[in-house]
Amino acid sequence: MRIAIISDIHGNLVALKAALSDIKRRNANRIICLGDVAATGPQPIEVIEHLRNIRCQCVMGNTDEPLSRDLPDEFGAGIPEGEIKKLEALDLWTRKKLTKLHRHYLSTFKPMLEVHLGPDQGLLCYHGSPTSNTDGILSTMPDEKLARRLEGHKASVFAGGHTHTQMFKRFLSSLVINPGSVGLPFQIESSGRMRNPPMAEYAIVSSFDGALSVELVSVPYPLSELRMAVRNSDMPDPDWWLSDWY
């Protein structure tokens, strides 16, 4: 069994198609999305409809939840006030794009998905952590804190997104992974500035004859295609949105 795990598409259909093309090439049997599919990107409707058309199972991300209820998202936590206003405008634009059918689709996302991999092997998928879709798990997290985040749950592989950063971490007899972000990967420069490379990140979890393997994948795609998608959309402040891409 080969399961492709994608996450944090954030309305970037260009990146999603790049990831799905690579996933097909690698012969994955199944695709699971860890949420945050539409918000803050140029192609929210296109991403939602593409996921629905391929019948991709999704868990509820922290940005999917307010969109499904047609509620404004909340921004803060160190974001400059000027950028918050731009994000709020983008959020409003996205909510106006969504129809009742799109919101219903988002509302079907589950908090978690459990997958049987084989005898005594299981995969647990969530967005931030099993306890909350806003609680990210980092590679530097102490085991004591990680144990609290995973408390009450058992799995051979725990898979979550939210941090937009790929991760592979051993914890007791389990693996804890993050596939990274398909549509909005983070890369921090030496100056501390956050940038977004045109790379669609995902993971493949394989289980054969009791042996587990995890592969973290990063697929490059032309930044020119993303720029064109942004220019062809009517999203607010396209130049600002593109300014962090390189």
Confidence of residue 67 (pLDDT cuts 50, 70, 90): very high
For residue 240, the model assigns a pLDDT of 96
Residue 135: predicted pLDDT: 94
Encoding tokens for residue 173? 């007899």
Structure confidence at residue 220 (pLDDT): 98
Q: Which residues share a beta bridge with 167? A: 178
Most distant CA pair in the chain, distance: 54
Which pTM was predicted? 0.96
pLDDT band at residue 11 using 50, 70 and 90 as cut-offs? very high
11-25, 184-198, 210-224: segment of lowest average pLDDT = 184-198
pLDDT at 210: 86
CATH architecture of 2-121+180-242: 4-Layer Sandwich (3.60)
- So where are the chain's domains? 2-121+180-242
Contact between 14 and 42 under an 8 Å Cβ cutoff? The reply is no
78 has pLDDT over 80 = no
- State the chain's mean pLDDT as an integer: 96
User: Do residues 57 and 3 touch, judged by C-beta distance below 8 A?
Assistant: no
